[in-house]
Each structure stands twice: as C-alpha cells, then as structure tokens.
Amino acid sequence: MASDYRFLTAWLLDAERRAVWWTLRDAERWPEWWRGVERVTVLDPDARYRIAWRSRIPYELEFEFTVRELEEPRSMTGDATGALTGTGHWRLFEQDGVTAVTYEWNARTTKPWMSLLAPWPDRSSSTTTTSSCAGAARGWPGGLVAIC
C-alpha cells in the first residue's frame, strides 16, 4: 500500500525574481544549498533530472523529475517517477526586489516497505525542508528573509 504526502514550503528571499529563478533552474547545484538533496544528474538539460534525496530516515530515495511546464520566471511544474511518484510546483512572486518562492510537493511512495515507515517521512521531510530553507541563504542570491 502506498502512502501519500503533501508538503508546502514558502521562502522569502532578499533578491530579484530573475536571479532566484536561475538559481532554481540550476538543478545540478541544488545539493550545495538544499539539505537532503544528495546529488542531481542531468538526463536532458532543462528538462529531466535524476535526483537522490536523503532525510533523517536512513535510506536514500532516487527518482526522476521531468519538467512539464515552464513559465519563466514565474513557475515550474514537473513530475517525479521512481522511489517517489508525484508532482512538484514552484511559484515565484516579486515585490520591491524581494522574492517569495513556494514549493508544493505532492508525492506517493512506490515501494511497500516505505509505507511501513509512513509516519516517519512526514516528520523528517518537514524537518529536512525547514533545514534546506536555512541552507538556501548560502546558495541563493541575496539572503533568506523568512521561512514559512
């Protein structure tokens, strides 16, 4: 039986949207600022990536992420397949040189043993997401103003 997860992260960055957009689009550098992302392999530039993710749970999740929609520099939507299946949607909003970024991630586990640990990923992924946002201040233009 699969387990479903929904996450919403919001970051407020002291940077213009276009600079944040290009940092987001540089997926190979995600491991530098996004805690939990172990590695990103580009399978098709600007379109498909293999992502290895690890949280507090002692196993690595690997999945492919395919970009389905791009509206530069406002939004990006893609689909994941592999250890997780689901959809991720980034939205970027700017006012007065400050950019708000939201990331909505709706995912489902694909291996039965993952569902046995269903309560754990919910808590650890939330912690990992918050930690990754703090790491974003190091890797994104400007600085991190707030995490929601």
CATH numbers and ranges of domains, the chain: 4-147 (3.30.530.20)
pLDDT of residue 110: 86
| pLDDT interval class at 86 (50, 70, 90) | very high
- What is the biggest distance separating any 2 CA atoms in the chain, rounded to whole angstroms? 47
Strands 75-82 and 60-71: antiparallel
| pLDDT interval class at 62 (50, 70, 90) | very high
Radius of gyration of the chain (CA): 15
Q: Is the peptide bond before 73 cis (omega within 30 degrees of 0)?
A: yes
- Mean pLDDT of the region 13-39: 93
Question: Distance (Å, rounded) from C-alpha 37 to C-alpha 18?
Answer: 23
User: Which tens digits make up the pLDDT trace of 100-118?
Assistant: 999 999 999 887 766 666 5
Question: Distance (Å, rounded) from C-alpha 141 to C-alpha 148?
Answer: 19
